[in-house]
A = this chain, B = another copy of it.
Amino acid sequence: MAQPEDSTDRHVARWRGHWVLETAPYDDTVEAITTRIGAIMRHLREHKKRAATEAGLQDFEYDTLHALMIRDTPGTSSPTALAADLGISPAGMSGRLEGMEKAGFIQRTTDATDRRRLGVEATPAGIEIWREVMARRGQEEDEMLGVLSAHERETLSTLLKRVTLHIEGERNR
């Protein structure tokens, strides 16, 4: 039962001492949750980056392929829609697609009925390398969450869902 400390415990303990917000009282548990979520994300992000690099992709190339593959229409999109999904500017998208087309990961196709529109398609080579990275990420996620029992994972997922429902609901109000 006596859990050892994680870095967040140390952070919060230090924090409580010299930072008390006058306006809102400082809540250890809230701070601990957000800090731990941050730590987990950082871990996953770094692992993703490593997996991508080892598969021969730059981080942003993998991100682009990934955004392309997880759409409702997997492997097909438009530059504008992709940019929106990725949270980058259309200008940045042009640059990425240029390089990735040259590298053979994606292909730009022209739309027959509207010549302003482009299509972006993942090539077989792109899909293959993306799958490679995905497999590694899946393994890492399983490994990471393997410390929890199936039941605990359900609990965790449900609690997180309450939070995401809340923030997604906010946006539509």
User: Which of the residues B144, B150, B164 comes within 8 Å of A167, measured between beta carbons?
Assistant: B144
Interface string of A40-55 (1 = CB under 8 A from B): 1101100000000000
* A1-55 contacts to B (CB < 8 Å): 3-4, 6-9, 11, 14-15, 18-19, 21, 23-24, 26-27, 29-34, 36-41, 43-44
Do the beta carbons of B161 and A24 come within 8 Å of each other?
Answer: no
> Which residues of B have CB within 8 Å of A168?
6-7, 39
Q: In residues 109-163 of chain A, which contact B (Cβ within 8 Å)? A: 131, 134-135, 138-139, 141-142, 144-145, 147-148, 150, 152-157, 159-163
- Contact between A6 and B164 (Cβ–Cβ < 8 Å)? yes
A18: min CB distance to chain B, Å? 6
A135 in contact with B39 (CB, 8 Å): no
Docked pose: A40 CA to B34 CA in angstroms: 9
Partner of A40, one of B6, B27, B164: B164
Q: Does A166 reach chain B (CB closer than 8 Å)?
A: yes
Task: Please tell me if A99 contacts chain B, counting CB pairs below 8 Å.
Answer: no
Bound-state CA distance A166–B30 (Å) is 21
If A23-B135, A29-B157, A30-B138 are given as contacts, then 4 extra A-B residue pairs at C-beta distance below 8 Å, sorted by A number, are A8-B161, A18-B74, A38-B41, A41-B41
List 23 A–B pairs whose Cβ atoms lie within 8 Å, in order of A's numbering.
Answer: A3-B161, A6-B164, A8-B164, A15-B70, A21-B134, A21-B138, A23-B135, A29-B154, A29-B157, A30-B138, A30-B145, A31-B141, A34-B145, A36-B163, A37-B40, A37-B41, A39-B168, A40-B167, A147-B162, A147-B163, A147-B166, A148-B162, A148-B163
